[in-house]
């Protein structure tokens, strides 16, 4: 039995064979994935990886092709890379030799956009009732944007051209990329502690992917929780983000945001000036009206001066005193006669009452005399009672056998033994 001897290849042969198989099996391919580790070397060639939830594919794009790209690749972007699979022989790595890169996933992003928009609308975050009106006074404006972007320069240029007397405080954030949503949300939360009267959230225009940081839920909820009125000035006029719907005010561009701030400051100042003018005019009219009323009162007082009526009132007082004296004298005489009549009537009534009372007393005295026990004794009767207990004895069987009796007569009493 002969032994089986497998073919022996060199490393280079294996690498070349794999490269041949890749070329025959795949040819030109398009791969969709998220850019990771994007790096442009000193040679101008770009090295990066494409990844999804489970795998990672190393990729390379040469400088001649990189210069023709219409987008700026960055970590976190979802793209479609077009090229062919090759093997890098020195390391034995397979990689995608990229010829072009285009944006991908716009449809998925749009679905995410519509889903979050519907959810936040259902919660009431877009309702006009919860939106804050512009502040009455704008002294400090907090601008949240990229310090390197053209949006900030346009915003500041317009305010300078309008000569708007307002303080600008810039909170620098990234406005694109995977870190942008967290930075924007954190800046909005920080704005509440910086004493601002108005917050402007702004950046320039771009694709749906470029503006995606302003379609994240964390940014939307930070805007909804902001106690300071917030203006969303993001993108171009045709661009709409979730931030636009949640914000208290929305303008189409950063430039329009600057004009709105200028209009608010000018409008509030003009409104204040108009109210001040109307108040000044109303006060002047009121003072003039009161001055006329005061002059009329002065004339009335002069024409009806108390000094001219003093003699008349003196005479009236004398007449009143004289009539009062006569009336008092007459009243006292009448009262005196009434008093004498009343005294006579009272004396007569008292005498009659006294005679009646005396007659009643005589009758009662006779009654008492008739019921007086002593009167009965004076007629020869005696009262008999026990000597000690003083119990009256009315019949013979009530005479005690062991006790003396006491006999009461009209002129005294004595004790006796009834059984002697």
pLDDT tens digits along 139-189: 899 999 999 888 889 888 988 888 778 888 999 999 988 899 999 999 999
Whether residue 132 is found in the same domain as residue 247: yes
Of 39, 15, 44, 24, nearest to 84 (Cα)?
Answer: 24
pLDDT at 369 over 70: yes
- Domain end, chosen from 249, 269, 289, is at 269
pLDDT per residue as tens digits for the range 212-267:
899 999 999 999 999 999 999 998 877 789 999 999 999 888 888 888 888 888 75
Whether residue 118 is found in the same domain as residue 225: yes
For 42-51, the CB contacts below 8 A with 24+ separation are: 46/73, 48/73, 50/79, 50/81, 50/96
The reported pLDDT for the residue numbered 389 is: 79
Whether residue 122 is found in the same domain as residue 96: no
Please count the structural domains in the chain: 4
359 or 381: which leads in pLDDT? 359
List alpha helices for 48-105, DSSP H: 63-66
Q: Let me know if 223 is exposed, middle or buried by CB neighbors in 10 A (0-12, 13-18, 19+).
A: buried
* Rounded distance between C-alpha atoms, residue 388 and residue 377, angstroms: 21
Report field, pTM of the whole predicted structure over 0.75 = no
Measured between its terminal Cα atoms, the distance across the chain in Å is 182
Any domain includes 366: yes
Give φ, ψ of 386 to 5 degrees: -65, 150
The reported pLDDT for the residue numbered 271 is: 53
pLDDT per residue as tens digits for the range 92-149:
778 888 998 887 766 567 778 889 999 999 999 999 999 999 887 888 999 999 998 8
- The pair of structure tokens assigned to 172 is 């620098």
> Buried (b) or exposed (e) across 359-371, using 16+ Cβ within 10 A?
eeeeeeeeeeeee
Q: Is the dihedral of CA 28, 29, 34, 36 positive or negative?
A: negative
218 Cβ neighbours under 8 A, 6+ residues apart: 181, 182, 185
Q: Return the minimum-mean-pLDDT range out of 247-251, 318-322, 371-375, 406-410.
A: 371-375
- Domain end, chosen from 269, 296, 325, is at 269
Q: What is the DSSP letter of 124?
A: T
pLDDT per residue as tens digits for the range 29-65:
888 888 888 999 988 899 999 988 788 889 999 988 8
Whether residue 366 is found in the same domain as residue 217: no
Whether residue 140 is found in the same domain as residue 181: yes
Q: Return mean pLDDT, the chain.
A: 82
Whether residue 172 is found in the same domain as residue 197: yes
Residue 398 belongs to what domain range? Answer: 382-416
Whether residue 245 is found in the same domain as residue 130: yes
Can you tell me which residue has the tokens 């800046």? 187
Q: What is the CATH number of the domain that holds 219?
A: 3.40.50.10550
Q: What is the CATH number of the domain that holds 50?
A: 2.40.50.140
């Amino acid at each position: 039995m002969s032994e089986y001897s497998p073919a022996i290849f060199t490393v280079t042969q294996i690498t070349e064979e794999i490269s041949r198989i890749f070329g025959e099996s795949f040819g030109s391919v398009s791969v969709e994935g998220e850019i990771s580790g994007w790096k442009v070397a000193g040679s101008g060639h770009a090295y990066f990886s494409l990844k999804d939830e489970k795998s990672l594919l190393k990729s390379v794009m040469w400088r001649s092709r990189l210069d023709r790209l219409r987008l700026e690749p960055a970590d976190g972007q979802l793209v479609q890379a077009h090229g062919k699979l090759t093997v890098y022989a020195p390391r034995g790595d397979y990689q995608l030799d990229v010829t072009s890169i285009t944006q991908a996933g716009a449809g998925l992003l749009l679905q995410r956009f519509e889903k979050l928009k519907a959810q936040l609308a259902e919660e009431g975050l877009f309702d006009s009732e919860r939106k804050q009106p512009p502040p009455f006074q704008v002294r400090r404006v907090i601008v949240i944007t990229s310090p390197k972007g053209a949006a900030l320069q346009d915003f500041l240029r317009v305010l300078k051209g309008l000569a708007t007397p307002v303080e600008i405080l810039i909170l620098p954030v990234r406005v694109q990329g995977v870190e942008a949503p967290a930075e924007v949300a954190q800046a909005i939360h920080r704005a509440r502690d910086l004493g601002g009267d108005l917050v402007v959230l702004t950046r320039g225009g771009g694709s749906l992917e470029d503006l995606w940081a302003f379609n994240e839920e964390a940014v939307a909820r930070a805007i909804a929780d902001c106690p300071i009125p917030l203006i969303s000035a993001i993108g171009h006029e045709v661009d709409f983000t979730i931030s636009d719907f949640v914000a208290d005010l929305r303008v189409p561009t950063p430039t329009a945001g600057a004009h709105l701030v200028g209009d608010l400051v000018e409008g509030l100042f003009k409104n204040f000036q108009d109210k001040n003018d109307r108040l000044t005019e109303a006060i002047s009219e009121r003072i003039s009206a009161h001055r006329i009323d005061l002059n009329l009162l002065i004339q009335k007082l002069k024409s009806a001066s108390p000094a001219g009526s003093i003699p008349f009132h003196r005479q009236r007082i004398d007449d009143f005193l004289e009539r009062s004296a006569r009336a008092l004298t007459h009243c006292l005489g009448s009262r005196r006669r009434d008093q004498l009549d009343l005294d006579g009537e009272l004396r007569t009534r008292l005498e009659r009452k006294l005679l009646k009372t005396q007659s009643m007393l005589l009758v009662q005295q006779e009654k008492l005399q008739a019921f007086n026990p002593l009167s009965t004794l004076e007629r020869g009767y005696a009262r008999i009672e026990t000597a000690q207990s003083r119990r009256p004895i009315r019949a013979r069987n009530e005479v005690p056998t062991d006790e003396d009796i006491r006999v009461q007569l009209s002129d005294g009493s004595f004790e006796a033994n009834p059984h002697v």
